[in-house]
Structure 1
Amino acid sequence: MSRVQLSPVVLIGDIVRSRSSADRRGLHRALESALADTNARVDHVEPLEVTVGDEFQGVYTHLGAALEAALRTRVALRERAETRYGIGRGATTTLDAKRGIKDGPAWWAAREAIVAVEEEARRAALGHVHTAYRLAEGEPDDLGTSVAVDAALHCQDHMVGSLSERSGRLLRGLLEGMTQKELAAAEGITPSAVSQRVRTDGLAVILRCHELLRTLP
C-alpha cells in the first residue's frame, strides 16, 4: 500500500510587543541567534528567517519538526521577549523567489493560526498560549488530529509560560541535551535542586510532551 504524500508545514512567528523593547537592536540580534540555533537543530525545507519587522517564517516536511522549531525558539528567546507562532499545513507556492514572497493554503492557514493566538491572548486565562495549528481547507484530518494537537499546545504553552526565569533556562538546557549536573554547575545550584525543579515545575512533563509531538508526520 502506498503512503499518502503529506503537504508541507509552514511556521510563522513573531515577537510580542517588540516595539516596546528598550533595545530593539539587541532583541533583533537575539532573534537571529535563536533562529540560527533552531535551524541547526531541526531539519527543515526552508530555514527560519526574519522577514518583515520582527516576523519570521520557515517550512518543514513534518508537523513534528515545525512544533519542535516553535518550542526551541520560544524557550531560547523567553528571557528577552515572548514570541507567538502560527503553524499551517497545506500546499505552498513561491510568487517571487528573489524577494521571498510566498503564497498558498499553508501560508494562509499559518496566518489564521497566529491571528487566533493573538486573539486568545486577550483572555487572561489563555495569556500563556502562544502556538496554534491549522489545516488548510481540503487537507485530511483523520480522527480530528488537528484538534488534539491544538489541545496539547495549549497545555504545553501554559506550562512553559508559567516557568520562572531559572526554570526556563533549565528547560532550554535540557532541550539542548545538557545533563542535570551540567545545569547545576551553570546555575550555581546543587544537582538535587535541579532535579526538584524538573519535577515540581513540570519540566519533565514539558519534555515528554515535546518528545511525543516531535514524532508527528
Structure 2
Amino acid sequence: MDSRGAVDRATLHRAVTTALSDATAGAVDPPAFTVGDEFQGSYSSVGSAIAAAWQVRLAVAPTVDVRFGIGWGAVTVLDETTGIQDGPGWWSAREAIEWTAEAQRQPGLALVRTTYRTTDPTAPDAGPINAALMCRDHMFGSLDERSVRILKGLVSHRSKKQLAADEHISPSAVSQRAGRDGLDLIVSASRLLAETP
C-alpha cells in the first residue's frame, strides 16, 4: 500500500487496520502492520491468503488500492517482539510484492495488484493462479465507482434488486452493468481462487 500520497493518513490507516482485522478466515497468523504501510499474515492455504487479500482490497476500495505479494513455504519468526520473519514463504511473498510493484510501471500491467510466488515444487502451481489474479485485477481496476459499490454488494450476497434501490437505478440497469463489467464473473472467479489448496 502506498499511503504517502493520502490526504488523511490517520483515517486511511484506521480503514486498513479494520479491513485487516476482518480478514482472519483461514489465518494462522492474522494480518497486521509491520513497518510503515506494509502488513503481513500467514494463512492455511494459498486460497485463504488470496481470499483475505481480496477482502482487504474490496474493503478499502475505491479510496485506496493495495498491492499484495503471496508466497508459499515455511516461515520462521526471528523476533517475536517485532514480528520479523524469514524463510522461503517470506522470501517468496517479498519477491511477489516486488514483482507486483514493478509490473505496475508497465502500461499493459498497470492494474496488477496481486501476485503469487513459490519455489516449492509441491506447492500449487503459480502460473495458472497468477493468470487468474492478473485478469481479475485488470477487470477490477477497470471498474468505475458505481460498479465497485455494486460488486461489493454482490460479494456481500445482496440481491441486485437491493443494490438497485441503493443506487437509485433499476434492477435491469444493475444486471446490465454486472454483465457489461463482468461483476458476476469477478465474484465467481474470486470464489474459485479461494478454493486453491
TM-score bracket, normalised by the shorter chain, equals: over 0.9
Kindly provide the CA deviation profile for residues 75-125 of structure 1, in whole angstroms up to 9, marking residues without a partner as x. 221221111000000011111122212211100000000000011111011
Match of 1:37 in 2: 22
Task: Rate the CA distance shift 1:173–1:97 in 2: closer, same or farther, 3 A.
Answer: same
Post-superposition, which runs of at least 4 consecutive aligned residues in structure 1 deviate over 4 A? none
SS in 1 for 2:62: coil
Q: Distance in 1 between matches of 2:189 and 2:112?
A: 15
* Residue ranges of structure 1 left out of the alignment (5+ in a row): 1-14
SS in 2 for 1:58: strand
Match of 1:118 among 93, 97, 101: 101
SS in 2 for 1:47: strand
Match of 1:6 in 2: none
Match of 2:150 among 161, 167, 170: 170
SS in 1 for 2:10: helix
Q: Distance in 1 between matches of 2:21 and 2:146?
A: 23
Contact 1:72/1:175 (<8 A) preserved: no
SS in 2 for 1:173: helix
**TM-score normalised per structure 1:** 0.86
Match of 1:211 among 174, 191, 196: 191
Q: In angstroms, what is the RMSD of aligned CA positions?
A: 1.4
Counterpart amino acid of residue 122 in structure 2: P
Contact 1:121/1:129 (<8 A) preserved: yes
Match of 1:84 among 52, 67, 90: 67
Q: Distance in 2 between matches of 1:100 and 1:149?
A: 28
Q: Distance in 2 between matches of 1:59 and 1:174?
A: 27
- Counting matched residue pairs gives 197
Q: How far apart are 1:37 and its partner, in Å?
A: 2.6
Match of 2:122 in 1: 140
Q: Distance in 2 between matches of 1:103 and 1:71?
A: 24
Contact 2:164/2:171 (<8 A) preserved: yes
Kindly provide the CA deviation profile for residues 148-177 of structure 1, in whole angstroms up to 9, marking residues without a partner as x. 111111101000000001111111121122
Higher relative contact order (CA 8 A, sep 6+): 1
Percent sequence identity over aligned pairs: 47
Q: Distance in 1 between matches of 2:182 and 2:100?
A: 23
199-208 vs 182-191, which moves further: 182-191
Contact 2:72/2:123 (<8 A) preserved: no
Match of 2:56 among 63, 69, 73: 73
* Residue ranges of structure 2 left out of the alignment (5+ in a row): none
SS in 2 for 1:19: coil
**TM-score normalised per structure 2:** 0.94
SS in 2 for 1:91: coil
Counterpart amino acid of residue 84 in structure 2: I
Match of 1:93 among 70, 76, 82: 76
Match of 1:151 among 126, 131, 151: 131
Contact 1:90/1:139 (<8 A) preserved: no
Counterpart amino acid of residue 166 in structure 1: R
